[in-house]
Amino acid sequence: MKNKADLKKITCLGAGYVGGPTMAVMADRCNSIEITIVDLNQSKVDLWNSEDLSNLPVFEPGLASIIKKVRGKNLFFSSDIQKAISEADIIFISVNTPTKTSGYGAGFASDLKWVESSARTIANFATGHTIVVEKSTVPVKTAEVIKTILNYNQNYDAKKSFSILSNPEFLAEGTAINDLENPDRVLIGGNDSDAIESLSLIYEHWVSKEKIIKTNLWSSELSKLAANAFLAQRISSINAIGAICESTGANVREVKLAIGSDKRIGERFLNAGPGFGGSCFQKDLLNMVYLSKYYGLNEVANYWEQVLILNNWQKSRISKLVVDKLFGTLNGKKIAILGFAFKANTNDTRESSAIKITKELLTEGAEIVIHDPKVTKDQIKKDLEKNEGKDPKQKESNSFWWFSKDYEEIFKNSDAIIILTEWEEYKTLNWKFYTNLMRKPSWIFDSRSIVNPKEMKNLGIKLWRIGDGTLD
Ligand code: UDX
Ligand code: UDX
């Protein structure tokens, strides 16, 4: 077996939101290690390799400049999976693990087909001793699946051996580079102390030893689910309080300040909003619910499921109140959605509240114009599935949507503006100029606390702001 410090070649399976930024930062901090990211999707690999850095498959502040520095030096993007696996000392699995849509556990359990096929490919092509690292968010006990597939192979080929580790990602999109460069902690779970040490040494290039937490495999897998469940629970908690604020005359931003200044609670991650989105929170909560039910812990399952129920309610609550404020009908009305990404500074729309809210408004007969600085029209088309068409004559039904980046076109004759993502450019819009183009009475629905209520009042705009019971 190789010396722990001699591990020179890393391969990552999956060039997505996790694999891309994680390996870019690792390559930047570990100049002596060669990293290859492989992906089944050739066009994605081509985009990562493209000269045009403004068009990387993942938009993440700071990512392009790191890619520019390390790509072709010690970071490579490729679709030659066999070669990359056979040469690797360490392999990270960063493929996607969506929620199952059919069969046992549908709607709750994660579909592990990509993780499983990754393990089989590794079993086929690996040579010598290989450390396999589970990076994707996975249900507890997934390492067992990987282990079984790899060990079966190992038994029949004495030249191959494997160690399996869990090393969950804790990066949040939009701040991924900083999260990776200055992590609160790095978590490594496993039973093979040599393998744990090897992976730890890689992180120690830029992370202090005290921040590297070593646990058994199952604690590591569960900690990832638990961390996201706690974070998601905070959002549902503040959104629940926001709803009470609106009914009672309190203001959720004041309540946030008051409760967040208690150090035990803390001020971060307490912004009321249109409900959480992203690829992880919902999936991890569903996994938690599934796991709890599997072990007969029904009260535990119900507890975590309620966080999700509240989140879905929050999204529908917003679409319903838009309809209510606009006299109960959206027929013949033009509504503008500002922000389609699930949060600012990402082009990711997975589980974005904007999807559900837009779909619900479309069923009410609205004409919807959508703006987002980074999400493409094609992505929105995939998410909304239908009803596109700018010309009412071409539309399939009463309601339809179209995409625009032209604020004048967006605001002109709109009845309402709904802010769903907290993009910086919305904060600095010339609201006076644009709202003047709207139809009267003009409404702004601000689910991200971006606009200034006093300014809106002076402009004669009717404002609904999340968690603000002081407005009528
Ligand atoms: C993630 C994470 O790893 C997980 O923690 C999170 O919960 C959701 O999925 P992410 O990087 O966000 O991954 O997903 P995505 O951007 O979809 O990237 C996955 C990539 O893996 C895709 O580019 C896909 O083409 C690739 N892939 C998938 C493979 O190369 N091989 C496969 O077998 C399956
Ligand atoms: C999350 C976790 O934060 C990260 O550690 C994990 O590895 C992956 O999942 P991500 O989903 O990328 O990261 O973004 P995050 O910043 O957690 O936001 C998730 C959702 O919660 C977004 O829709 C966001 O708008 C919402 N949110 C977040 C709020 O509504 N209010 C807040 O105060 C914070």
Closest to 173 (Cα-Cα) out of 348, 380, 372:
348
**Which of 167, 173, 237, 259 is the best mutation target for the ligand 2 pocket, counting ligand atoms within 8 Å of the beta carbon and taking the most?**
173
Per the structure block, which two tokens stand in for 458?
């002076």
Report yes or no: 317 and 396 within 8 Å, Cβ to Cβ: no
CA nearest ligand 1 atom 18, residue: 16
- Residue 278 Cα to ligand 2 middle (Å): 7
Contacts of residue 224, defined as CB under 8 A and 6 or more positions apart, other chains included, come to 137, 166, 168, 170, 187, 284
The pLDDT, as a whole number, for residue 275 is: 98
339 ligand 2 Cβ < 6 A: no
The answer regarding whether domain 4-215 maps to CATH 3.40.50.720 reads yes
- Residue 269 Cα to ligand 2 middle (Å): 8
Report yes or no: 443 and 417 within 8 Å, Cβ to Cβ: yes
Rounded distance between C-alpha atoms, residue 246 and residue 176, angstroms: 33
Rounded distance between C-alpha atoms, residue 26 and residue 384, angstroms: 36
Q: Which amino acid makes up residue 436? A: N
Q: Counting atoms of ligand 1 from 1, which one is nearest the CA of 41?
A: 25
Q: How do the domains of the chain map onto residue ranges?
A: 4-215, 310-465
Closest to 18 (Cα-Cα) out of 135, 122, 192:
135
Q: Counting atoms of ligand 2 from 1, which one is nearest the CA of 284?
A: 9
Contacts of residue 13, defined as CB under 8 A and 6 or more positions apart, other chains included, come to 19, 38, 39, 81, 91, 92, 93, 94, 95, 118, 121, 122
278 ligand 2 Cβ < 6 A: yes
Indicate if 310-465 has the same CATH topology as 4-215: yes
Residue 33: CB atoms within 10 Å: 18
- Residue 231 Cα to ligand 2 middle (Å): 8
- Residue 348 Cα to ligand 1 middle (Å): 13
Per the structure block, which two tokens stand in for 185?
């902690």
Q: Counting atoms of ligand 1 from 1, which one is nearest the CA of 44?
A: 23
271 ligand 2 Cβ < 6 A: yes
114 ligand 1 Cβ < 6 A: yes
Report yes or no: 342 and 356 within 8 Å, Cβ to Cβ: no
**Which of 231, 357, 421 is the best mutation target for the ligand 2 pocket, counting ligand atoms within 8 Å of the beta carbon and taking the most?**
231
Residue 210: CB atoms within 10 Å: 7
The pLDDT, as a whole number, for residue 98 is: 83
Q: Give the CA-trace dihedral at 286, 98, 96, 104, to 10 degrees.
A: 90
Output the CA angle 150-155-161, nearest 5 degrees. Answer: 55
- Residue 463 Cα to ligand 1 middle (Å): 40
Superfamily of domain 310-465 in the CATH hierarchy: NAD(P)-binding Rossmann-like Domain (3.40.50.720)
CA nearest ligand 2 atom 17, residue: 172
The pLDDT, as a whole number, for residue 394 is: 46
E-state strands within 1-127: 9-13, 34-38, 75-78, 90-93
Per the structure block, which two tokens stand in for 348?
């990711």
Catalytic residues: 280
171 ligand 2 Cβ < 6 A: yes
319 ligand 1 Cβ < 6 A: no
78: helix, strand or coil: strand
Q: Count CA atoms within 13 Å of residue 13 on its CB side.
A: 28
Report yes or no: 384 and 357 within 8 Å, Cβ to Cβ: no
- Output phi, psi for 219, to 5 deg: -65, -40
Closest to 215 (Cα-Cα) out of 280, 140, 302, 297:
140
- Residue 138 Cα to ligand 1 middle (Å): 12
Q: Which positions of the chain have pLDDT values less than 50?
A: 391, 393-394
Rounded distance between C-alpha atoms, residue 166 and residue 91, angstroms: 12
Q: Counting atoms of ligand 2 from 1, which one is nearest the CA of 17?
A: 12
221 ligand 1 Cβ < 6 A: no
Beta bridge partners of 133: 92, 165
Rounded distance between C-alpha atoms, residue 320 and residue 453, angstroms: 22
The pLDDT, as a whole number, for residue 156 is: 73
CA nearest ligand 2 atom 11, residue: 278
Give the ligand at the shortest distance from the Cα of 422: 2
Contacts of residue 53, defined as CB under 8 A and 6 or more positions apart, other chains included, come to 64, 67, 68
Q: What is the pTM of this model?
A: 0.93
Give the ligand at the shortest distance from the Cα of 284: 1
Give the ligand at the shortest distance from the Cα of 355: 2
Q: Count CA atoms within 13 Å of residue 219 on its CB side.
A: 9
